[in-house]
Every structure is written in structure tokens, then in C-alpha cells.
Structure 1
Amino acid sequence: MRAVLHPLRDRLPVETAVQFGAQLPTLVRGVYYDGWRPADTPVKMSNEEFFARVRSEFPYAVEGGDEKLVRTMLKTLERHVSAGEWQHLKSRVPNSFAALLP
């Protein structure tokens, strides 16, 4: 979970990251904010760089690869965030990354 949450959070503008984090369940919110430095965000990264960061945080082989891991985690997160906030999140990331979001 952390391996996907942190690169996602760091890729978002600060205001969007806070709005998104506020809707997460309490335990997940703690993981999401752990170690965050708002002054260092947003970090521009390509999808390849995003997946590389996920791999560095979660170096285990996953059936279906990194993209399936990210899509599964994002689909799970979507269940805990309002539809309006999810659409706002999608609008704040590059189109290439938004395509990964359910």
C-alpha cells in the first residue's frame, strides 16, 4: 500500500494531496502522510519513473507486474473516496497517469 500511496501523494499538488488524504480511512491516512514533505511536492515523474519508485518500495515479484499492482491498489482506494474527489484527483495528474485510475 505504501509503495503506491507515497509516489501518488508526491506526484499531486499539495492542495489535491491534502484533499485526497482527508478522505482516506484513518489507518491508510497515517501511511499516506508518513514522511511527507509538502514543500518538496509535486514531483514531476513519468509513468516509468512512477513504476520504478513503486518497484524500489516494493521489490517483490507480483503476478501481472507493477502495473497490475498499481491498478489494484488504486481501485481499492477508489472505494474509500467520494466520486467527486476521485474525478478531481484524475484531473490533477497527467493524462497518461490518469489512464491508470479506474
Structure 2
Amino acid sequence: MSNPQWTDAAAESDIPDDDVIGREVEGREVALYKTRGEIYATDNICSHGQAELCDGFLEGYEIECPMHQGRFDIRNGQPACAPVTEAIRSYPVKIEGGRVFLALG
């Protein structure tokens, strides 16, 4: 397995505790979350209603879509409740020098 290519997505300080922000990273809309001291990343667009998840409500490890209140687990992108049935993509994250890097490949 090859080494992932890491892409700079944001400053760690840009992501508020227990919140989510949206960013465009290499042409992809991603959501960056900080909860319980850890940072996670997923696609920013809900697989059900095409809403931006960065406009949703983060509670623990779940993001609630602002359109139909479906929820995803931000650790792996899996649906957590109806009406969501299709997962979103999650991305590996690493922090270096106060910057958040994602493996998008």
C-alpha cells in the first residue's frame, strides 16, 4: 500500500471546539469537525438531501443534516438515523505544526 498524499485543509485553530466548518480542498467540499479534542473530516454534502453538513448540528460524534435531520457518524461517514441511508466519505486526518492535513485519495 502506498503512502497517502496529505493535503493542507485548514489551521487547527480555525475549527472551534464541538463545532463544524466547511472548506473547499482541492475542489472537494469537506466538513471539518472538532469534538472531544479530536478532528475529523467528511464530505460536506449530505447523501440524502444535498444540504451542506457544515450548516448542521454537531453532537458528540454525529452531525445532523440541516435539511431533514438525518445524522452521520463523523468518524466513518456511516448513517446514524433515518432518513439517511447512504454513507458519506470520511477522510484520514493528521495534525502537523498546527495545520490540519487530509488524505483525499
Query: What TM-score, normalized by structure 1, do the two folds share?
Result: 0.26
Higher helix share: 1
Larger RCO: 1 or 2 (CA < 8 Å, sep 6+): 1
